[in-house]
Structure formats: structure tokens, C-alpha cells
Amino acid sequence: MSTPQGIPSVDLSEFLSDDPAKQEKFVKELGAAYEGIGFVAVKNHGISKDLIDNLYDQIQKFFALPEDVKKKYDIPGIGGQRGYTPFGKEHAKGKSAGDLKEFWHFGQFVEDNDPIKEEYPENVNVEELPTFLLTGKEAYQTFEDTGRHLLRAIAIHLGLEETYFNDKIHNGNSILRPIHYPPITGEIEDGAVRAGEHEDINLITLLVGASADGLQVLNKQNEWVSVTEIQDHIVVNVGDMLQRLTNNKLKSTTHRVVNPPKELLGTSRYSVPFFLHPRSDMRLDCLESCIDEEHPKLYEDITAGEYLMERLREIGLVDDKK
């Protein structure tokens, strides 16, 4: 298993092949990466360059719109689940300084009369960009397919049925989040960075591209490792829900996006993570197979929906008083 740019690399086409030896190799490498650093670079991931380029073109056009236009799409009362979240509103857990970013949320597109649709706000159309929502939908559903394949491999690694996660993520509460980290001009709040050190809330996160460096991962030696864009790969990491489900067998790694060096402070950074969430009623109770005398149960029983709301309050997207 090669290690470009500080994290392991795997080839999803091996798992999707008809060769049992290649499939086994992929599962073994993915499992080792997730028990180790919690991050992996995936090639042959099924997300085309044309789609990625089109998505980045659309999001750059959106974030270039005037502030008053963007703020039309800041929807009150839904905890930022859809539409626009303005600069500095979100902060890392345990931090007071707002992250130096603005972002958009695309959510689930329920198209099969599943009653769960009632749980989700509608996706938001941007009048000024006629293909923005269509591009977001195509990207969302493509990311979701890739994530489903990776979760099949994770299930095998955990000794579960390969299809264990399928019904739990069908019409799940996943979020596609285009992010803009604007140029840093002038004074910033003490301790404010583009994205403070944090762990993701969800099962797994898929990150496609980034227009500039800045992502750093905290390894087992407590050292920050820079992860630069890896040609033809996406970066996929374990989130807290999967760590909790596996009683810390799989590692949700702390990561951050640091401010650029002084000579690059005037440049923007864009990135597009896909936070793969299950349905709200999925149980995150620790798997019995991950509990033994050496690894006692570390977490209380909880559903994915309950855990999500707890975390959204911690990072400032949902009012603590609600």
C-alpha cells in the first residue's frame, strides 16, 4: 500500500472487480488505514473529472455573487441544513472563534415516496444560476454511490454482512458541502483559522479536490501531517458515528484547515466534502463484535439523529436553547 502525501492510497476498482483476491486486498488495506490514521486516498472512485470541474465552476460562481444575493439563501430555523451559511457562523467544537469560511448545503433528494422525506428541508434553488441545483444533485448522488461501495468494504472488514449499511444509508441525511475560504485581508479574531481542529460527525466523509493546500491530519504520533491534493484521488475519512459504532476500532481522526502562508493570504480556497450520514433512526450502539475485556464499551446507546443534534449544538449551527 503506497503512501502519497502522508496518507495511504487504495484503488476502489479492485473492490469492484470480480477478482476475490483483489477484493480481499482492498478490504485489508482500507481496514488497516481506518484503524491507523483514519484517512485514505481513493483512486478509481467513479466521480468523473468533468463532474468535478462542473461542480467547482458552479460553486465558484455562487460564492462570487454579491453578499446581499447570497444572504437570500440563508434559510432561518433549519440549523444550516440547506442553502447558504455565511462567513464565520460555524466554529469547531470547544472553540469560540468562527471558522474563516462560508458554505452551501445540498441535502438528500428523496425520489421514491419514502416517508423520511418529511424529515428533510427542501433543497434550495439559486435563481441566478440555473444549473446550480442540477449539478449539485448529480454530484450528491454520485458521491453517495461511491460512499456505499466503501461502506460495503468496511462492513466486510468488521465481520458484518456486506450489505449491513445499505438500508441504513438509503435516503440518509447526507450533506454535500461546497466551501469557500475567502482571502484573508486585515485583522482576524484571535485563534480563528479556516477550519479549526475537529472530527467529522458522520459515518465517512468523501473530499474531492481542493483549490489550495491547507488540510492537515493529526497522526498517532500527535504530529500534524499536511494532505495536499492527490491527482486522480479523493480523500475519505472516518467520522465520529462510525468510530462510535465500532467502539473506537475505526479511528475518527482530528483534522483542520490552516491559514495559508503570508504570501498567499490574499487567495481563496475551495473544497467540497460529502458527509455521508445514515437515516436518523440508525442505532449507533457499539457493535458487540467490537467489545471485549480489552476493549470495554466506551459509549452510551444513541441514535444517529440524537447524536447529530447534540453535535450541531456544539458547533453553533443549532441554538443551544432549543
The per-residue pLDDT for range 132-187, each reduced to its tens digit, is: 999 999 999 999 999 999 999 999 999 999 999 999 999 999 999 999 988 766 55
- Percentages of the chain per state (helix, strand, coil), in multiples of 5: 30, 20, 50
The 8-class DSSP code of residue 186 comes to S
pLDDT at 77: 83
Q: What's the full length of the chain, in residues?
A: 322
Any domain includes 321: no
pLDDT at 108: 97
In sequence order, the 6+-apart residues with CB closer than 8 A to the CB of 7 are 33, 37, 39, 40, 41, 217, 225, 227, 235
Containing structural domain, residue 170: 4-314
Residue range 44-57: average pLDDT? 94
Any domain includes 265: yes
Kind of pairing between the strands at 9-11 and 39-43: parallel
Percent of the chain topping pLDDT 90? 62
pLDDT tops 80 at residue 316: no
pLDDT at 10: 95
pLDDT tops 70 at residue 20: yes
> How would residue 7 be classed by pLDDT, with cut points 50, 70 and 90?
confident
Mean pLDDT of the chain: 86
pLDDT at 311: 81
Q: Is the dihedral of CA 89, 207, 162, 218 positive or negative?
A: negative
pLDDT tops 60 at residue 68: yes
In sequence order, the 6+-apart residues with CB closer than 8 A to the CB of 54 are 135
Q: Is 161 or 309 the better-scoring residue by pLDDT? A: 161
Give exposure, 241-274, as e/b (b: 16+ Cβ within 10 Å): bbbbbbbebbbbbbbbbbbbeeeeeeeebbbbbb
Any domain includes 258: yes
C-alpha cell at 103: 458554505
Any domain includes 319: no
Spatial separation of the C-alpha atoms in residues 23 and 30, rounded to whole Å: 11
Residue range 93-106: average pLDDT? 69
Any domain includes 225: yes
Q: How many domains does the chain have?
A: 1
pLDDT at 190: 52
Spatial separation of the C-alpha atoms in residues 194 and 99, rounded to whole Å: 5
pLDDT at 158: 97
The 8-class DSSP code of residue 46 comes to S
The domain spanning residue 182 has which CATH number? 2.60.120.330
pLDDT at 263: 61
> How would residue 96 be classed by pLDDT, with cut points 50, 70 and 90?
very low
Burial class (CB in 10 A: 0-12, 13-18, 19+), 237: buried
pLDDT tops 90 at residue 114: yes
Burial class (CB in 10 A: 0-12, 13-18, 19+), 55: buried
Biggest alpha carbon–alpha carbon distance for the chain: 59
pLDDT at 95: 43
C-alpha cell at 173: 441525511
pLDDT tops 60 at residue 279: yes
Any domain includes 138: yes
Any domain includes 162: yes
In sequence order, the 6+-apart residues with CB closer than 8 A to the CB of 119 are 173, 280
pLDDT at 215: 75
Any domain includes 322: no
pLDDT tops 80 at residue 94: no
> How would residue 212 be classed by pLDDT, with cut points 50, 70 and 90?
very low
